[in-house]
């Protein structure tokens, strides 16, 4: 007994819409074809699926049962196809608020001009949806993650608003913003090493922490103290002359941005986006 999938689909539509005609419209065929399909299905299953009433069809118990299962089944299948189709020109990047706000979102317009066909959207939700086209850019420990996945090693330094004209005065305590990650597994910002390299004592600073670098950077832009953070994040502000590092020496950190299982993203669209990201963070 070989049942036809097209007949099943016709039945599913007709059952859902309650009409052969409506089903025919949905499937872009004639009502006659739907009628044929369903008659065929009924004879093969050896059971009635619809009661034929005047200008109206109603499901038999068997029809009801098959309809429910067919509808859920086809829904699953076509939703996946829909995803695949969209994946052809859509990429969603999920990443930290800071990287999104300070680097990616400001660069989006330029990307959009360069690749107008590409739909890129950004998500900073923690609950990473395992959508097909979602590209996660995470902050991680460069000693632990796969080297090939890393797109940017993080270097740290202290920055303050250029408006201050000079290095923060060390004769009175300067407020220094830095980060304390919610995720304990992440290496802390290398503040101690940086102080040592630059021959500074932590007594010079009143350290305040946020769980996201973004907040400290915003404080500093508002001319409130200094921030010890990843150079990657403030690069545009350095370039624009809004922030400066006052010739202190920057330090390496164990932190890096990486894309888990980067090599898995092999469709052309993903490659384009990854390449763009790598270039952006160079």
Q: 250: which 2 tokens? A: 């920057």
Q: 116: which 2 tokens? A: 């107008």
Stretch that binds DNA, among 52-60, 63-71, 223-231, 235-243 (CB under 7 A): 52-60
Q: Using CB under 8 A, which residues numbered 234 to 263 contact its own copies?
A: none
Q: What is the per-residue DSSP string for 24-65?
A: HHHHTS-HHHHHHHHHHHHHHHTS--EEEETTEEEE-HHHHH
What one-character DSSP code corresponds to residue 168?
A: P
Considering the complex, what minimum distance in angstroms separates the CB of residue 57 from DNA? 5
d(CA 188, CA 192): 10
Q: Is residue 187 a contact point for DNA (CB under 7 A)?
A: no
Q: Tell which one of 114, 132, 148, 163 touches its own copies (CB under 8 A).
A: 132
- CA 14, 18, 21, 25 dihedral sign is negative
Q: Tell which one of 23, 265, 276, 277 touches its own copies (CB under 8 A).
A: 265
Q: Is residue 38 a contact point for DNA (CB under 7 A)?
A: yes
Strand runs labelled E in 223-263: 226-230, 243-244, 251-258
Number of H helices, E strands in the chain: 10, 12
* C-alpha dist (Å) from residue 127 to 94, 96, 132, 257: 10, 12, 15, 18
272 CB-near residues (< 8 Å, 6+ apart): 115, 118
The nearer residue to DNA, 19 or 212, going by C-beta atoms, is 19
Considering the complex, what minimum distance in angstroms separates the CB of residue 76 from its own copies? 4
Q: Is residue 106 a contact point for its own copies (CB under 8 A)?
A: no
Binding-residue pattern over the window 183 to 222 for its own copies, x denoting contact by CB under 8 A: ----------------------------------------
Stretch that binds DNA, among 6-14, 112-120, 131-139, 153-161 (CB under 7 A): 6-14
Phi, psi for 134 (deg, rounded to 5): -85, 130
Which residues lie near its own copies (CB under 8 A)?
1, 3, 5-6, 8-9, 45-48, 60-62, 65-66, 68-70, 72-77, 79-81, 83-85, 87-88, 132, 264-267
Query: Site residues (CB under 7 A) for DNA?
Result: 2, 4, 6-7, 10, 19-21, 24, 27-40, 50, 52, 54-57
């Amino acid at each position: 007994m070989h049942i036809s999938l097209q007949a099943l689909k016709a039945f599913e539509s007709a059952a859902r819409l309650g009409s052969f005609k409506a089903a025919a419209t949905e499937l872009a065929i004639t009502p006659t074809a739907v009628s044929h399909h369903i008659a065929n299905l009924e004879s093969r299953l050896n059971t009635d699926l619809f009661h034929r009433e005047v200008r109206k069809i109603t499901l038999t118990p068997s029809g009801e049962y098959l309809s429910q299962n067919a509808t859920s089944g086809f829904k699953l299948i076509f939703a996946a196809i829909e995803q695949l189709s969209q994946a052809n020109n859509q990429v969603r990047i999920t990443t930290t608020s800071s990287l999104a706000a300070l680097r990616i979102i400001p660069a989006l317009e330029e990307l959009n001009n360069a690749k107008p066909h590409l739909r890129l959207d950004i998500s900073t939700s923690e609950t990473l949806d395992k959508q097909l086209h979602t590209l996660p850019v995470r902050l991680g420990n460069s000693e632990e993650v796969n080297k090939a996945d890393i797109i940017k090693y993080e270097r740290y330094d202290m920055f303050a608003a250029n408006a201050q004209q000079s290095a923060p005065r060390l004769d009175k305590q300067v407020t220094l913003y830095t980060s304390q990650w919610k995720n304990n597994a992440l290496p802390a910002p290398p503040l101690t090493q940086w102080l040592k390299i630059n021959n500074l004592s932590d007594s010079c600073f009143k350290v305040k922490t946020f769980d996201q670098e973004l907040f400290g950077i915003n404080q500093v832009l508002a001319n409130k103290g200094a921030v010890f953070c990843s150079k990657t994040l403030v690069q545009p502000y350095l370039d624009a002359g809004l922030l400066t590092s006052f010739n202190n020496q920057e330090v390496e950190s164990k932190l890096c941005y990486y894309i888990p299982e980067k090599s898995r993203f092999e469709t052309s669209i993903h490659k384009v986006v990854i390449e763009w990201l790598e270039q952006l963070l160079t």
